[in-house]
Amino acid sequence: MEETLAEAFWAVTRRLRLHTRNALQPWNVSPSQSRALGVLSRHGEMRLSAVAEHLHIAPRSATEVIDDLQRRNLVERRPDPSDRRATLVALTADGVTTARAIDEARAAEAERLFAALDPADRTELARILRRLRDPN
Amino acid sequence: MEETLAEAFWAVTRRLRLHTRNALQPWNVSPSQSRALGVLSRHGEMRLSAVAEHLHIAPRSATEVIDDLQRRNLVERRPDPSDRRATLVALTADGVTTARAIDEARAAEAERLFAALDPADRTELARILRRLRDPN
DNA sequence: GGATAAAGCTGAGGTTACCTCAACATGAGG
DNA sequence: CCTCATGTTGAGGTAACCTCAGCTTTATCC
């Protein structure tokens, strides 16, 4: 019974991943890059180590993702004025519009998946997921 | 609203992945190896290419996973008597018991996650996931 | 007011789980 | 039988992570 629940979960996750990949294709931005863009878009300028925390990855790995985005002029680094060891990362103008566009595309793709549910089911699903996501 | 649904989904998926990783630890079997064991356990002996299909990976990649499992004496290869190009893959005795034990551990870990739901919610979730997993 | 420890980032180099492409053996159809 | 397709694998590549050591800068503690 639970095995079935977990399996069903993985199956849907897989579909969601494919939809997301689809949504990202036009910008050829990798999933991990898009996650970083999302974090910076939602929370604004922050330290590199903070990006790492948000993405649940090691600081060294965040350096790489940010390198890639910087190479594409989607983010920029500047020294943290309050601590000369740290560097702050923020979206560029290009980064802001790209992040927004990607967000919309992703939402549209997700909508295509969740369109199978009527409003009541969506509410139910949201409630159940909320219960599962926190260890209460 | 859908964005929130997708995000909640990813959050729960992440928890489920951590639980699964936890469950696999005692056997130090990688997730992809455990998936292969699961396929062979559920469907029995099959061609390498069939394993690849079940796992949604390229045949070449299945070769690698099976190599690893063979090195650990969990599976064995034998030539397909009906087609000498093909090789059949099956669990060894060790593989059978390991696959069973892993399956149980994973179910137990999943149970720990889904324990947050009462029976009615589980049924609801199962129904909704079923609706989402097929493109009907 | 140094000496010492800790924090923040990155270069170097590794790992995992995938991939493609080409080679090779075998099977199938005209 | 000759050509074409199929099944597996060697060689080599990539993405997204990782650890560890080194450098600079900040904080702490006699």
Q: Report the alpha-carbon distance of residue A116 to residue B133 in Å, rounded.
A: 10
Tell which residue, B38, B35, B63, has the closest CA to residue B49: B63
Cβ atoms of A62 and A55 closer than 8 Å: yes
Mean pLDDT of A120-125: 95
Q: Check A114 against B122: CB less than 8 A apart.
A: no
| Mean residue pLDDT across chain A | 94
CB atoms within 10 A of CB B130: 14
Residue B136: predicted pLDDT: 60
Is the pLDDT score of A135 beyond 90? no
CB atoms within 10 A of CB B48: 18
DSSP output for B19-86: HHHHHHGGGT--HHHHHHHHHHHHH-SEEHHHHHHHHTS-HHHHHHHHHHHHHTTSEEEEE-TT-TT-
Q: Check B15 against A128: CB less than 8 A apart.
A: no
Is the pLDDT score of A2 beyond 80? no
Cβ atoms of B58 and B52 closer than 8 Å: yes
Preferred mutation among A13, A34, A112 to probe B, highest tally of B CBs within 10 A: A13
ipTM of this complex > 0.95? no
What residues have CB less than 8 Å from A16, skipping those under 6 apart? Answer: A110, A113, B6, B9, B10
Region of poorest pLDDT, from A37-41, A101-105, A130-134: A130-134
Strand C, nucleotides < 7 Å from a protein CB: these are 7-12, 16-22, 25-28
How long is the CA A59 to C1' D18 vector, in angstroms?
A: 10
Strand D, nucleotides < 7 Å from a protein CB: these are 6-12, 15-21, 24-27
Mean pLDDT of A68-97: 97
The three-class DSSP label of residue A74 is coil
Tell which residue, A44, A24, A19, A22, has the closest CA to residue A34: A24
Q: Closest partner residue to A12 among B11, B15, B132, by Cβ? A: B132
DSSP for residue B134: S
Residue B1: predicted pLDDT: 47
Residue A45: predicted pLDDT: 98
Q: Where residue A134 falls among pLDDT bands split at 50, 70, 90? A: confident
Q: Which residues of B touch A (CB under 8 A)?
A: 1-6, 8-16, 20, 56, 103, 106-107, 110-111, 113-114, 116-117, 121-122, 124-126, 128-133, 136
Residue B4: predicted pLDDT: 82
| pLDDT tens per residue across span A7-31 | 999 999 999 999 999 999 999 999 9
Q: Is A18-133 a domain of CATH 1.10.10.10?
A: yes
How long is the CA A65 to C1' D14 vector, in angstroms?
A: 15
Residue B6: predicted pLDDT: 93
Q: Closest partner residue to B5 among A10, A20, A126, by Cβ? A: A126
Domain range list for chain A: 18-133
Per-residue burial over B93-127, b if 16 or more Cβ lie within 10 Å, else e, is: eebeebbeebbebbbebbeebbeebeeebbebbee
Per the listing, tokens 């139910």 go with: A124
Q: Check A106 against B3: CB less than 8 A apart.
A: yes
How long is the CA A49 to C1' D27 vector, in angstroms?
A: 18
How long is the CA A83 to C1' D26 vector, in angstroms?
A: 8
Q: What is the pLDDT along chain B (136 residues), one digit of tens a residue?
A: 445 899 999 999 999 999 999 999 999 999 999 999 999 999 999 999 999 999 999 999 999 999 999 999 999 999 999 999 999 999 999 999 999 999 999 999 999 999 999 999 999 999 999 999 886 6
Q: Which CATH number fits domain B11-133: 1.10.340.30, 1.10.10.10, 1.10.3720.10, 3.90.1150.10?
A: 1.10.10.10
- Residue B81 C-alpha, separation from nearest chain A C-alpha, in angstroms: 34
Q: Check B114 against A16: CB less than 8 A apart.
A: no
**Tokens standing for A44?**
């604004």
**Tokens standing for A21?**
């990949």
Rounded to an integer, what is the distance from CA A34 to the centroid of its chain?
6
